[in-house]
Amino acid sequence: KQEVTQIPAALSVPEGENLVLNCSFTDSAIYNLQWFRQDPGKGLTSLLLIQSSQREQTSGRLNASLDKSSGRSTLYIAASQPGDSATYLCAVPDTGRRALTFGSGTRLQVQP
Amino acid sequence: DAGVTQSPTHLIKTRGQQVTLRCSPKSGHDTVSWYQQALGQGPQFIFQYYEEEERQRGNFPDRFSGHQFPNYSSELNVNALLLGDSALYLCASSLVRGNTEAFFGQGTRLTVV
């Protein structure tokens, strides 16, 4: 059974810092990996989708990397802003299925 | 292009009652999945519908059931509500073929009292 772990659980940084969020998964036979953002009480917004054949995906100040062999992905946020404050979740499809397995998320707070 | 829409936004029910949540997928998507998210946790997969049939199911009791209509929209039904069913219910849509992104709705906050 696929398990996804996100470290750290919470993070508080001053505005302008570059930061890295970590995601690890136990079964490397994945189709892709997706990073989401969730504001309190709201739904999930897709940030980046990395296909299993890719190593990196970039969108604006966000860069996600994927290392299938080690079962790890990182989300890099450059020049953080208070508006980046949210919970960030990574998710992978279960082996042989398309249901997503999520980590518990990293709660990010960017201080102005 | 409308994204995934869910209704209602909030709902309060009494223990033992039944509830129906609704979801309209993103235009062009044919697959709908439902997730339950408890406070402080990641979403947990309930089930997935494609071609009006339940294709995959997570570890949820039979009190949770669903339906998909010919226009790809979907309903989630929960019978005999328990206090522990209080959660944010999320609907996601995607395409059955290819490594495509899952897009989520804004969720329905269900409170069971």
The per-residue pLDDT for B91 is: 98
For residue B53, count CB atoms less than 10 angstroms from its CB and return exposed for 0-12, middle for 13-18, buried for 19 or more.
exposed
Q: Provide the CB-side half-sphere exposure for B108 (13 A, CA).
A: 25
Residues in chain A, overall count: 112
Contact A73, A88 (CB under 8 A): no
The per-residue pLDDT for A36 is: 98
Taking CA–CA distances from A32, the nearest residue in chain B reads B99
Beta bridge mates, B94 = B31
The per-residue pLDDT for A31 is: 85
**Tens digits of per-residue pLDDT, B52-66?**
999 999 999 999 999
Provide the mean pLDDT of chain A.
Answer: 94
The per-residue pLDDT for A98 is: 74
Interface size between A and B, measured as CB pairs under 8 A: 65
Contact B43, B31 (CB under 8 A): no
CB within 8 Å: B42 and A102: yes
Two tokens at A3?
A: 């398990």
d(CA B52, CA B66): 10
pLDDT at A111 over 90: yes
CB within 8 Å: A100 and B106: no
Average pLDDT over residues A26-52: 93
**Tens digits of per-residue pLDDT, B64-109?**
999 999 999 999 999 999 999 999 999 999 987 766 789 999 999 9
Q: Please tell me if residue B50 touches chain A, with a CB cutoff of 8 Å.
A: no
Three-state SS string over chain A comes to CCCEEEECCEEEEECCCCEEEEEEECCCCCCEEEEEEECCCCCEEEEEEEECCCCEEEECCEEEEEECCCCEEEEEECCCCHHHCEEEEEEEECCCCCCEEECCCEEEEEEC
CA distance B98 to chain A (A): 9
The per-residue pLDDT for B1 is: 64
The per-residue pLDDT for A95 is: 66
Average pLDDT over residues A41-69: 94
Which chain A residues are closer than 8 Å to B99 by Cβ? 31-32, 49, 51-52
AA letter at B90? L
The per-residue pLDDT for B99 is: 64
